[in-house]
């Protein structure tokens, strides 16, 4: 759904009123769909884990009880314990902050840089557009995870560098979507009318092209959240992220792989929490895409 702003008659107040009505309609749509409502609840709980981990568990994620090593899931230890007796639920809760912060940083990098690149290509056109998009095509030809692995190998192993690598690897996708939207918007009548009224190129870009080109890019950003969570966790699982004993979702799954045949909960339960959050983000992103279509 694209909102077109008339160059002469679209006052700022009416725009904010339309945004408010749209937000209320979206909230009502969420409440009427149990699956979507559950997805939002799961995502909010994950965000709560990241922001206020101490509110969800009283265990220290770094300190274990040697006598309680490899304890199975129970009322005392919901996810069981690892080989050092550390509570796995507490480590999963505190790991949410590490993984989701890296994910948010990665999506912001991809969204910001990709939007700028796509805007420049679509608005400039000609040789500039061709040159930029050929570079974008090269990046799109490389699998994102492989590209992220190459980048983080150059930058060094850490969760922050994983976030940068995942963000850089997603720039090309954002750039292509933004360029396609800009090419559609620049040919609209209200853009021509703005030029006819004497609005400068920068004013046209900021007031008309950017606001009306972002809907598809925002839908892609919602989808990239789940994809980036998997990428960050995947690189952490491979050992590119934070070193032990830092709680991080990918690392938690990796720490239990040697014991999965005997003590399956060490990897399976943190992995299940990761999978549930990713599925929730994909369900939410699907709702954004349907609204856009």
Predicted pLDDT of residue 7: 42
Residue-wise pLDDT for 120-141, tens only, equals 998 888 899 899 999 999 999 9
Query: Cβ atoms within 10 A of the Cβ of 241, count?
Result: 28
For residue 285, the model assigns a pLDDT of 84
**189 touches 154 (CB < 8 A):** no
Q: Which residue has the higher pLDDT, 51 or 257?
A: 51
The model's pLDDT over 202-259, given as tens digits with 9 standing for 90+, comes to 777 778 788 888 888 988 898 899 999 999 999 999 989 888 888 999 999 998 888 8
The model's confidence at residue 32, banded by pLDDT at 50, 70 and 90, is: low
Give the model confidence (pLDDT) of 11-27 as tens digits. Answer: 445 555 665 566 555 66
What residues does each domain of the chain span? 20-59+75-292
Stretch among 23-37, 87-101, 191-205 having the lowest mean pLDDT: 23-37
Cβ neighbours for 133, distance < 8 A, ≥ 6 positions apart: 121, 176, 179
Q: Which long-range contacts (CB under 8 A, 24 or more apart) does 89-92 make?
A: 89/57, 89/59, 89/269, 90/53, 90/57, 90/58, 90/59, 90/60, 90/61, 90/247, 91/61, 91/247, 91/252, 91/270, 92/49, 92/247, 92/249, 92/252, 92/269, 92/270, 92/273
Helix, strand, or coil here: 87? strand
pLDDT greater at residue 181 or residue 4 = 181
What does the alpha-carbon distance between residue 231 and residue 109 come to, in Å, rounded to a whole number? Answer: 14
Q: What is the pTM of this model?
A: 0.83
Range of weakest confidence among 80-84, 185-189, 280-284: 185-189
Which of 242, 237, 271 has the alpha carbon at shortest distance from 254? 237
Domain 20-59+75-292 matching CATH 3.40.50.2300: the answer reads no
pLDDT for residue 204: 76
* 149-205 tens-digit pLDDT: 999 999 988 899 999 999 999 999 999 999 999 888 887 777 778 777 777 777 777
What is the C-alpha separation between 141 and 161, in angstroms, rounded? 22
């Amino acid at each position: 759904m694209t909102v077109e702003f008339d160059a002469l008659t679209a006052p700022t107040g009416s725009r904010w009123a339309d945004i408010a009505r749209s937000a209320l309609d979206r909230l009502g749509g969420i409440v009427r769909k149990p699956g979507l409502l559950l997805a939002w609840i799961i995502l909010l709980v994950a965000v709560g884990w990241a922001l206020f981990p101490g509110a969800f568990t009283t265990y220290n994620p770094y300190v274990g009880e040697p006598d309680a090593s490899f304890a199975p899931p129970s009322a005392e230890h919901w996810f069981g314990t690892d080989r050092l007796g550390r509570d796995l639920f507490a480590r999963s809760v505190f790991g949410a902050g590490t993984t989701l912060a890296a994910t948010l940083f990665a999506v912001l990098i991809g969204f910001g840089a990709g939007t700028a690149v796509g805007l420049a290509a679509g608005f400039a056109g000609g040789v500039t557009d061709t040159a930029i998009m050929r570079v974008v095509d090269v990046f799109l030809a490389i699998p994102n995870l492989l590209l992220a692995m190459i980048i983080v190998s150059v930058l060094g192993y850490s969760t922050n560098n994983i976030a940068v690598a995942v963000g850089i690897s997603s720039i090309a996708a954002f750039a292509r979507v933004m360029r396609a939207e800009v090419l559609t918007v620049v040919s609209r009548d209200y853009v021509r009318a703005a030029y006819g009224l004497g609005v400068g190129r920068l004013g046209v870009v900021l007031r008309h092209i950017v606001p009306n080109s972002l809907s598809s890019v925002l839908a892609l950003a919602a989808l990239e959240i789940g994809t980036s969570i998997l990428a960050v966790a995947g690189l952490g699982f491979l050992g590119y992220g934070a070193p032990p004993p830092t709680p991080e979702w990918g690392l938690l799954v990796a720490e239990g792989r040697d014991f999965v045949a005997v003590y399956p909960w060490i990897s399976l339960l943190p992995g299940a929490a990761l999978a549930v959050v990713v599925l929730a983000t994909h369900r939410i992103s699907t709702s954004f895409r349907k609204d856009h279509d």
